[in-house]
Amino acid sequence: MSDIIEFIVHYTPMEREKIAFAWNGKHAAEFIDANQSFRWTVVKECIDNSERVPLSLLEDLFLADAHWAVQAWGTPEHFAQLGCALLVRGGSDALESFAKGFNASFDTFGACHDIQLPVDLLPQLMTSVREMHACVTDERQKVELESTLQLFQKLEGPTATDGWVKIAPKTEVSKIRVVWPRWHHKAWAWFFR
């Protein structure tokens, strides 16, 4: 464990490769991320002690897990906690990375609806998102910021988890059907291309 703490304390973006999503290009049972085990050990320690973690490490971990989620077709159980640690530790400085990871896939989007942020942090984050949105010209970034603002507004009230269901790994699921119009799916696919 001392190696993990040493890694965290002395982390620089030069060491990003050790925690980056290192995918073998396969899915389902053949899916492998060579850095997953180490990264998730680091994540656990970072969530437990986020006040001492470099912001750049929390950002890199959150984005690596977001990339993982895109190819794994799900999110790690800790994704919402990691997003919370990122926002609590970084505040407005973490918004760009959070918005990217939050909007990386349908799964990351859904998982972040379970974030438990301090109530007094939300107004500051919403103000910062609005200010950032007014300054950006990139359409993709504008959409990411708009959905991030909507999330924060939902978190401010009791509606963030309405309509979302968390399914434990290896749960057998049957009789699944698409409930949104097909154009919505195409719009989602266009946004994340």
- Residue 127 belongs to what H/E stretch? helix 122-135
Name the residue ranges covered by the structural domains of the chain: 2-191
d(CA 41, CA 77): 13
pLDDT at position 183 over 50: no
pLDDT of residue 167: 72
pLDDT tens, 90-142?
999 999 999 999 999 999 999 999 999 999 999 999 999 999 999 999 999 99
pLDDT of residue 180: 56
pLDDT tens, 130-177?
999 999 999 999 999 999 999 999 999 877 777 777 777 678 877 766
Q: What is the DSSP string of 43-100?
A: HHHHHHTGGGS-HHHHHHHHHHHHHHHHHHTS--TTHHHHHHHHHHHHGGGGHHHHHH
Q: What are the structure tokens assigned to 188, written together?
A: 């989602």
122 close to 156: Cβ distance less than 8 angstroms: yes
pLDDT tens, 38-54?
999 999 999 999 989 99
pLDDT tens, 59-101?
999 999 999 999 999 999 999 999 999 999 999 999 999 999 9
80 close to 112: Cβ distance less than 8 angstroms: yes
Q: Cα–Cα distances in Å, from 143 out to 35, 149, 152, 156?
A: 30, 10, 14, 20
pLDDT at position 4 over 90: yes
Mean of pLDDT values over 18-35: 97
pLDDT at position 181 over 70: no
pLDDT of residue 55: 97
Q: What are the structure tokens assigned to 77, written together?
A: 């159980």
pTM for this model (two decimals): 0.86
